[in-house]
Amino acid sequence: MNEFVFSYPTKNYFGEGAAKKALAAELPKYGKRVLLAYGGGSIKRNGIYEEIRSLLEAAGKEVTDFPGIMSNPTYEKVQEGARLVRIKDIDLILAVGGGSVSDCCKAVSAQARLSEDLYEYEYTAHQVPTQGVPLGVIVTASGTGSEQNAGAVITYEEKHWKGALWGTAASFAVLDPAYTKTVPMRQVISGAFDTLSHCMETYLGTPREPNLSDEMNEAVMRSVVRNMKNLSKSEGEDMAARSELMWAAAMAENGILKIGKTTDFQAHMIEHQLGAFTDCNHGCGLAAIQPTLYRHLAPSAPAQYARLAREVFGVEPAGRTDLAQAQEGIDRLERLIRDVGLPTRLHEMGITDERILRAVADTAVRMPGCAKQLTSEEIFALLKEAV
Ligand code: NZQ
Ligand code: ZN
């Protein structure tokens, strides 16, 4: 177990009616001016917008809308939000949406209180913002766990860069599984796969011998696999599975499973650059990359990959080597991805252009917790294999 300092600022309100409960308790803590941030309009179609807006107005708040936050939110959108926060002198940002809305608002919150450019501040001056406009997140599409931490994944289009900006963690988060009922099934499942990916990428970091965080992680991963299958089989009707997946997404990213670990997240770094060059769906991109990547990495940490195979994918050791067990685990992971209807190959997402794969391989960040330090050539080769 590595040494650690752990604290976690987000108060979670989970379950049916959580928004009403949360806003009644939280809104009195903040000033009058609220920025109501959301995506491309799903919350207007499913009634969540009306419900939240009337709760805000009933609490006497002055509401400013910040609509149109796109999937894979851009740096330009962050700047637009920060300008609005400054002009309207906002007291509380309320992000209502999936990971994209939450991420954008985490960065907006920090940028609004910073005179320097946020990207330059973090990547040139190597500083971390220490202040932000208070933020609450109402989750309407689960999977990323974005509402649980301060990291915002932002696409800087001009730079062909998609990566983490340190923003503001939510002071409170609303997790009502019923709010996710209208999310298209493919997005629900890609979100669930994102959660599984976060867990695996945490588990496969260092130290490579299992610690308490890993044993808790195994339980979360087994739950995600089971509930992904159940939700998929029930065509989205299984509310118990939906609830479990929503809390698993939060657990995967609230820091608890990362305690004492240096995480891997190499698959994420590759997928983020794929997103920067193609704007692809995050969970689908991971699904198409991860089995191929793991076939390359397992020989460098066979015992760890074998344990994942046994504990999460039910592989029997049957006197076989760690590597043989690990490979069967990866085959089962790939089968799971196919069974729940996600892509296992990049061509299924229309990604075949080798110039893009080359650019992704050349720009993906290398992670210290990964089982092997991959070269650009190795990443390029495995991306071609994943097509
Ligand atoms: O924009 P609207 O109209 O709201 O539609 C959204 C969007 O099209 C729709 N949606 C959301 N709630 C809905 C709904 N549709 C119907 N009913 C509802 N209740 O779902 C679509 C996808 O939303 P989005 O927020 O883009 O998806 P997701 O939650 O998967 O977030 C993806 C982003 O999060 C980043 C990804 O890279 C990507 O940019 N990530 C953030 C992380 C973090 N901060 O910790 C970690 C992840 O690894 C990830 O990188
Ligand atoms: Zn992710």
| Confidence grade of residue 1 (pLDDT, cut at 50, 70, 90) | confident
Closest ligand 1 atom, residue 194 Cα: 48
pLDDT in tens, 221-245: 999 999 999 999 999 999 999 999 9
HEC string for the chain: CCCCCCCCCCEEEECCCHHHHHHHHHHHHCCCEEEEEECCCHHHHCCHHHHHHHHHHHCCCEEEEECCCCCCCEHHHHHHHHHHHHHHCCCEEEEEECHHHHHHHHHHHHHHCCCCCHHHHHHCCCCCCCCCCCEEEEECCCCCCHHHCCEEEEEEHHHCEEEEEECCCCCEEEECHHHHCCCCHHHHHHHHHHHHHHHHHHHCCECCCCCHHHHHHHHHHHHHHHHHHHHHHCCCCCHHHHHHHHHHHHHHHCCHHHCCCECCCHHHHHHHHHHHHHCCCHHHHHHHHHHHHHHHHHHHCHHHHHHHHHHHHCCCCCCCCHHHHHHHHHHHHHHHHHHCCCCCCHHHHCCCCHHHHHHHHHHCCCCCCCCCCCCHHHHHHHHHHHC
The mean pLDDT value for 159-175 works out to 97
CATH of 186-386, one of 3.40.50.880, 1.10.3720.10, 1.20.1090.10, 2.40.30.20: 1.20.1090.10
Gap between the Cα atoms of 340 and 193, Å rounded: 10
58 Cα: distance to centroid of ligand 1 (angstroms)? 28
pLDDT in tens, 273-300: 999 999 999 999 999 999 999 999 999 9
Assess whether the C-beta atom of 40 lies below 6 angstroms from ligand 1.
yes
Q: Whose CA is nearest to atom 46 of ligand 1?
A: 144
148 Cα: distance to centroid of ligand 1 (angstroms)? 14
Domain spans of the chain, in order of start: 11-179, 186-386
How confident is the model at residue 324, as a pLDDT? Answer: 98
The mean pLDDT value for 258-272 works out to 97
- CA-to-CA separations, 156 to 43, 74, 104, 119, 184, in angstroms, rounded: 26, 6, 12, 9, 27
How confident is the model at residue 379, as a pLDDT? Answer: 98
CATH of 11-179, one of 3.40.50.1970, 3.40.1160.10, 1.10.287.130, 1.10.3210.10: 3.40.50.1970
The mean pLDDT value for 175-190 works out to 97
Assess whether the C-beta atom of 74 lies below 6 angstroms from ligand 1.
no
Assess whether the C-beta atom of 146 lies below 6 angstroms from ligand 1.
yes
More confident call, 2 vs 169:
169
How confident is the model at residue 303, as a pLDDT? Answer: 98
Assess whether the C-beta atom of 270 lies below 6 angstroms from ligand 1.
no
The mean pLDDT value for 125-148 works out to 97
Buried b (16+ CB within 10 A) or exposed e, 325-363: bbbbbbebbbebbeebebbbbbeebebeeeebbbbbbeb
Assess whether the C-beta atom of 271 lies below 6 angstroms from ligand 1.
no
132 Cα: distance to centroid of ligand 2 (angstroms)? 24
The mean pLDDT value for 194-206 works out to 98
Q: Whose CA is nearest to atom 38 of ligand 1?
A: 72
267 Cα: distance to centroid of ligand 2 (angstroms)? 9
Gap between the Cα atoms of 286 and 272, Å rounded: 9
Assess whether the C-beta atom of 314 lies below 6 angstroms from ligand 1.
no
142 Cα: distance to centroid of ligand 1 (angstroms)? 8
Closest ligand 1 atom, residue 48 Cα: 19
Say yes or no to pLDDT of 2 above 90: no
Neighbours of 277 (CB within 10 A): 19
How confident is the model at residue 335, as a pLDDT? Answer: 98
pLDDT in tens, 98-130: 999 999 999 999 999 999 999 999 999 999 999
The mean pLDDT value for 24-33 works out to 98
What percentage of the chain carries pLDDT values higher than 90? 99
Q: What average pLDDT is seen over the chain?
A: 97
Say yes or no to pLDDT of 195 above 90: yes
Assess whether the C-beta atom of 39 lies below 6 angstroms from ligand 1.
yes
Gap between the Cα atoms of 48 and 96, Å rounded: 9
Assess whether the C-beta atom of 273 lies below 6 angstroms from ligand 1.
no
215 Cα: distance to centroid of ligand 1 (angstroms)? 28
Closest ligand 1 atom, residue 164 Cα: 44
C-alpha neighbours within 13 Å on the C-beta side of residue 146? 35
Whether residue 251 contacts residue 218, with contact meaning beta carbons closer than 8 Å, is answered with no
Gap between the Cα atoms of 97 and 183, Å rounded: 10
Buried b (16+ CB within 10 A) or exposed e, 198-215: bbbbbbbbbebebeebbe
106 Cα: distance to centroid of ligand 2 (angstroms)? 16
